[in-house]
Structure 1
Amino acid sequence: MVGRSHLLSWHRVALVALLVALAALAFTALRGPQWFQRVFYPLDHVDAIASSAARHRVNPYLVAAVINEESGFDPQARSRAGAVGLMQLMPATADELRLRSIVDSGVVATSDLTDPAVNIEYGTAYLRFLIERYHEVEIALAAYNAGLRNADAWAAQGGDIRDAITFPETRHFVVRVVRAKERYEQLYPGVFE
């Protein structure tokens, strides 16, 4: 029995050490040196983000935050549900944006959602559409993640949207994107000017 008890204590020590290391990593990612924080908040495709954000009147730091959360800036990212590219757009959503002329075919001549500039244009246009529909960024983000029908139901409840969201994944998405937008503003001041 002594051996087993001794073994279990080492497992506990290892678990505590792992938790401490993860907490230290998380703290460093949020409050450590800027170069280290930028590992967790990378920024690429600045020109495409800036031009699409200006064209659609969306905060470019919000666009960067959505990209980081959705794909980690991987233009080839694909979800199990079929979402594609940097901003994880569903092809049907992109088709709808094009059919409604929300995305100008003169600006984007292709619908290749793995092309960073194309994906950013469609994703930013969709964000603008959602922000105009809901008049609140957090509800727009919930709709971006979980769809219009779900966001409509949550928005109809009134109050804090975070409390109304019934999907933990969507609630976490909204919180992480809002937090990431703030981090991008702090880490990359003036980069979109």
Structure 2
Amino acid sequence: MNRRGSFLRWYRAVPLTVVLIFGLVSFAFTFAPSLLFKSMYPLRYEDEITASASAHGVDPYLVAAVIRSESSWDPEASSHQGARGLMQLMPETAQDMVSKGLVDGKRYSYENLEDPAINIEYGCAYLSYLLTYFNGATDRAIAAYNAGMGNVDGWAKQDKLLHNAITFPETQAYLVRVNMAKARYQELYPQAFR
């Protein structure tokens, strides 16, 4: 009987152990992805993004997604073509935002695009300009941020589904990358821009 009693105690412990293991695994799968994704999708400069995005009527999550896609949050990033800063802006584009009256060039010097606040201000102004130009079509604005307005105008004439008409693989990938990053930021940081 002693053997049978210890067998029954062991037999009862097995289901409890299995439930405990499944509970721990469920807990890990619930919280580990968030921790993992937060390391892949960091968020910085929330105040600067909030202020500039609000001033220019741009979704701050879109701004964060563009920053992640353009520079991976490196304020000193630069491209071989001359784009600079968090949102990888060309100095000519920044000058254009001043000449169009969208950015106060005295307050935000386009010569200092490595400054996060200045770069975000110009980047938000440019995104706002693109969104206005494309009548609020976010995918067109995103594609134009990467490939230029003229290319997007041409692609839009070829096919109503912009993604099908884009002839640059880099721009197709960029459009997907920015949209995915925007969704991740909304999911991971739902209270970031309040």
Same fold (TM over 0.5): yes
> Moved runs in structure 1, 4+ residues, more than 4 A?
none
Please list the CA deviations of residues 3-37 of structure 1 after superposition, one character each: whole Å capped at 9, or x if unmatched.
Answer: xxxxxxxxxxxxxxxxxxxxxxxxxxxx9521211
1:5 paired residue number? none
Is the CA contact (8 Å cut-off) linking 2:94 and 2:110 kept in structure 1?
A: no
Hey, what's the Cα distance between the residues in 1 that align with 2:41 and 2:109? 30
Inter-CA distance 132–105: structure 2 relative to 1 (3 Å threshold): same
| Counterpart amino acid of residue 185 in structure 1 | Q
Taking the aligned partners of 2:189 and 2:149, their CA distance within structure 1 comes to: 32
Equivalent in the alignment of 2:148: 147
| Unpaired runs of at least 5, structure 2 | 1-30
Separation of aligned partners in 1, 2:53 and 2:32: 29
Per the alignment, residue 174 of structure 2 pairs with 173
In the alignment, the residues of structure 1 paired with residue 88 and residue 110 of structure 2 have an alpha-carbon distance, to the nearest angstrom, of: 17
| Root mean square deviation, CA, Å | 1.4
Q: CA deviation at 1:163?
A: 0.6
Preserved contact between residue 154 and residue 164 of structure 1 (Cα < 8 Å): yes
How far is 1:109 from its partner? 4.8
Which amino acid in 1 is paired with 2:190? P
Gaps of 5+ in 1: 1-30
Cα deviation, 1:119-169, whole Å, max 9, x if unaligned, reads: 000001000000111120001111100111111101222411111100000
Residue matched to 1:39: 39
Aligned partner of 2:151: which letter? N
**Matched residue SS, 1:33:** helix
Match of 1:92 in 2: 92
Could you state the TM-score of these two structures normalised by the residue count of structure 1? 0.81
Does the residue aligned with 2:76 lie in a helix, a strand or coil?
coil
Compute the TM-score of the two structures, normalised by the length of structure 2: 0.80
Larger radius of gyration: 2
Q: Residue in 2 aligned with 1:112?
A: 112
Shift in Å at residue 106 of structure 1?
A: 5.7
User: Residues 32 and 138 from structure 1, CA distance in 2 versus in 1: closer, same or farther, beyond 3 angstroms?
Assistant: farther
Count how many residue pairs are aligned between Structure 1 and Structure 2: 163
